[in-house]
Amino acid sequence: MQDPTITPEMVEEHGLTPEEYERARRICGGRDPSWPELGIFSVMWSEHCSYKSSRVHLKRLPTEGPRVLIGPGENAGVVDIGDGQAVCFKMESHNHPSFIEPYQGAATGVGGILRDIFTMGARPIASLNSLRFGMPDQPRMSHLVTGVVAGIGGYGNCMGVPTVGGEVQFHPSYGGNILVNAFNLGLVPSDGIFLGQATGVGNPVIYAGARTGRDGIHGATMASDSFDDEAMEKRPTVQVGDPFTEKCVLEACLELFAQDLVVGIQDMGAAGLTCSTFEMADRAGTGIALDLDKIPLREEGMTPYEILLSESQERMLLVCTPDNVDAVLEIFEKWGLSSVVCGEVTDNGRVHVTHGGQTVVDLPASPLSDEAPVYDRPQAEPDTLSERRRLDEAQIATTAPADDLLRLVASPNLSSRRFIYRQYDHMVRLGTLVGPGGDAALIRIVGTDKAVGMTVDCNGRYVWLDPREGAAMAIAEGVRNLACVGAEPIGATDCLNFGNPERPETMWEFSEAIDGLSDACTALGAPITGGNVSFYNETDDEGIIPTPTVGVVGLVEDIGDDWANPSAAFVADDHIVALMGDPAGETLGGSEYLFTLHGQTAGVPPRCRLDAEKAVSTLCRTLVRSGQVVSAHDVSDGGLLVALAECTGCHEGAVKIGASVSLTSSESRTCALFGEGGARIVVSYPAEGAAAVEAAAQSHGVPWLILGRTGGDRLAVDVVAAGEGASIDVAVSDLYTEWANGLVRSLGL
């Protein structure tokens, strides 16, 4: 078949600007690229692969720390946990494919992040996910929720990797662009980390795993574009997942690593064979000669263009020494997988690809990444920002706090997620100490006294109203959640979901968010070790609220025989209930109360008080680890009253303990009950330990407010606030019923 002659229209269809095409011609040594080469430039310089709009900003993130072994740039970051072990983790988006085909989009999102982790030599031990949907009554939304959840479960369950937590939020701005962000964490020996480098001139290059088909061609380019009415026609660019094959690839790779048979390895994710070949050569400063006639194909007649750009799943590219080839092929054969030597590492710095004896690609490896376009795009503060931040609190005051509480706990954003996590195997691998429903997941490292905490967080409403503070708050909330399970932060990954970067307002939001993340990560000791940027989350010119999701990872080093797993809910009658942290600074701006009960995303959101966050989280994890507090739950979405509801009736524990609480506030009663502010945690503890706990709070300089006592089967709250007080008295069983059924009811399932 004759390759077409390249025209300006084809260049445009490949998402390249005329300037970028000129740059491509320069890299080609002044000639026009071949047809497959044009495809390669298109995917390698797509926003998704090249980070061309974000790179100048990402540099401002802190990426170093005492425990960081591998930072951004490899397939995933790696952080030391001591005694020769390390954890490898990353979060990635699969937003666009999941909107088009929810089951396969979400499933292959999980498959992709798992490959990133085990490519590094790690065994994946826990997954999380962060999902955003439009409101349940928006078109297709119930179908998208059920499809995404089934896809995540379908892939992760089969892989035998537990899905141990996550978050799901609903907001109308996601109605045309849902977000599916998948996080995975693996365990790796700190001297057994593998990198995606094609080192050793003359070493064979091996292709392994699934055969290459025509699926997913130009997936990365699709992910770098906005949607319009024709989005559904992009269905053929969505990949199809085969978790069974990936499970076999995982086990085969771990056997290769254990026998030290691999020099370098990389999975074929976005941009498939192209991206892995160029990146492996670039990182090693070598070249690769590739023979496409050797690639196992699913169908006949595939062109070089299709073979190079296919995003078929469950495929790996690896380099070994010549004397290990037979051993490598034998292990893949044991697991029933195809593997074949398809090329060789060369010393000329070029990627040279042949097909049927003809050269189809001949490009220098490094310039494709080094000389990829980098844009410092214009930024402008949105002129609607002051409008967004306007809020007349008197207009939205609560008139019936108990009714408002019941409606809040039944709302899509706050109700029980059991319908979702019940579809995820969250117990396999015997590590889950705290699973779904906890503030953070806590996974023991079997065979040690260590456990790893992990959480994903972001409140997009805060970020939309104040990107810098909102992004910082995502990290702060993650650190607070870890503190509730006793874990100290050791690293973080980010998954930055934004609209169209060619809009100055989006770039301003992005840049502000990076600064917020940077401040919070530095202050709270959670360096960013890798992540992902997803732009163009926009349909028919409507963008999402900016959503820089973060995954924060923490460590507990001393789980002994007398360790009791931390609880978010109250555990026994007659314990003291206290609020750790200063309630000052709480506000209804951006709050769940304002959104759910008044349909507004408005006001000035809470400021992120990093000093207070640090003090509160340090104290909390100390008291949780020592067992001096027996429950700890972070006050976040919905404010103090919702947090108390979650400690009493709104949880899946077998025993539900009520509480009687009283509170004095200089704020309005609406703000005192439902205001959000960060740096606060509700704890409970036996009265006999009170003196020691309060002394610890004093020595940490953390305000400590005794709220009341646990006990009974009702949540009773007396508040004395500026203006008027309130008495709330709700049966714990009523709270549970509303909370437990809310999500399923709103989705109409």
- The kind and range of the H/E element at 68 are strand 68-70
For residues 234-261, b (16+ Cβ closer than 10 Å) or e, as one string?
beebbbebbbebbbbbbbbbebbbeeeb
Q: Which is nearer to another protein, 93 or 157 (CB)?
A: 157
Cα–Cα distances (Å) from 407 to 66, 459, 735, in that order, read 46, 20, 10
Q: Which is nearer to another protein, 150 or 402 (CB)?
A: 150
Q: Which is nearer to another protein, 163 or 587 (CB)?
A: 163
Least distance from C-beta 236 to another protein, angstroms?
Answer: 22
User: Which residues on adjacent β-strands are paired with residue 528?
Assistant: 492
Length of the chain, please?
Answer: 749
Cα–Cα distances (Å) from 155 to 149, 150, 240, 406, 442, in that order, read 10, 9, 11, 35, 22
Least distance from C-beta 243 to another protein, angstroms?
Answer: 7
Q: Which is nearer to another protein, 550 or 556 (CB)?
A: 556
Give DSSP secondary structure letters for 537-577.
Answer: -EETTEEPPPEEEEEEEEEE----TT----BSS--STTEEE
For residues 355-377, b (16+ Cβ closer than 10 Å) or e, as one string?
beeeebbbbbbbbbbeebbeeeb
Least distance from C-beta 31 to another protein, angstroms?
Answer: 46
Residue of 14, 48, 218, 352 with catalytic role: 48
Greatest Cα pair distance in the chain: 84
Number of other residues whose CB lies within 10 A of the CB of residue 390? 10
Least distance from C-beta 479 to another protein, angstroms?
Answer: 24
Q: Which is nearer to another protein, 247 or 575 (CB)?
A: 247
The verdict on whether 94 is a catalytic residue reads: yes
Residue of 57, 94, 218, 633 with catalytic role: 94
DSSP state of 733: H
Residue 491 CA to residue 454 CA, distance in Å, equals 10
Least distance from C-beta 251 to another protein, angstroms?
Answer: 8
Query: What is the rounded end-to-end Cα distance, in angstroms, of the chain?
Result: 51
Least distance from C-beta 428 to another protein, angstroms?
Answer: 6
Number of other residues whose CB lies within 10 A of the CB of residue 35? 18
Least distance from C-beta 512 to another protein, angstroms?
Answer: 40
Residue closest to 535 by CA, chosen among 98, 48, 172: 48
Q: Which is nearer to another protein, 251 or 557 (CB)?
A: 251
Q: Which is nearer to another protein, 46 or 157 (CB)?
A: 157
Give percent helix, percent strand, percent coil of the chain, each to the nearest 5. 40, 25, 35
Residue 662 CA to residue 670 CA, distance in Å, equals 15
Residue 106 CA to residue 93 CA, distance in Å, equals 9
Give DSSP secondary structure letters for 386-415.
Answer: HHHT---GGGG--S-HHHHHHHHHTSTTTS
Number of other residues whose CB lies within 10 A of the CB of residue 155? 29
Least distance from C-beta 523 to another protein, angstroms?
Answer: 33
User: Which residues on adjacent β-strands are paired with residue 316?
Assistant: 208, 267
Number of other residues whose CB lies within 10 A of the CB of residue 387? 9
Least distance from C-beta 121 to another protein, angstroms?
Answer: 17
Secondary structure (3-state) at 196:
coil
> Are 293 and 341 a contacting pair, CB within 8 Å?
no
Secondary structure (3-state) at 601:
coil
Binding interface with another protein (CB under 8 A): 150, 153-154, 157-160, 242-245, 247-248, 251, 334-336, 421-430, 432-433, 444, 446-447, 559, 563, 565, 654
Least distance from C-beta 120 to another protein, angstroms?
Answer: 20
Q: Which is nearer to another protein, 133 or 155 (CB)?
A: 155
Least distance from C-beta 418 to another protein, angstroms?
Answer: 8
Q: Which is nearer to another protein, 246 or 279 (CB)?
A: 246
Residue 159 CA to residue 117 CA, distance in Å, equals 13
Least distance from C-beta 27 to another protein, angstroms?
Answer: 42
Q: Which is nearer to another protein, 159 or 253 (CB)?
A: 159
Residue 288 CA to residue 364 CA, distance in Å, equals 10
- The kind and range of the H/E element at 467 are helix 467-484
Number of other residues whose CB lies within 10 A of the CB of residue 690? 15
Residue 44 CA to residue 23 CA, distance in Å, equals 13
Give DSSP secondary structure letters for 168-183.
Answer: EEE-GGGTTS-EEEEE
Q: Which is nearer to another protein, 687 or 749 (CB)?
A: 749
Residue closest to 447 by CA, chosen among 191, 83, 67: 83
Least distance from C-beta 160 to another protein, angstroms?
Answer: 3
In the numeric block, which tokens belong to residue 664?
């004095």
Q: Which is nearer to another protein, 155 or 194 (CB)?
A: 155
In the numeric block, which tokens belong to residue 618?
């340090």
> Are 307 and 276 a contacting pair, CB within 8 Å?
no
In the numeric block, which tokens belong to residue 545?
């609220």
The torsion defined by the Cα of 575, 576, 582 and 587, in degrees rounded to 10, comes to 70
Report the sign of the C-alpha dihedral through residues 305, 311, 314, 319, in that order: positive
Residues acting as catalytic residues = 48, 94
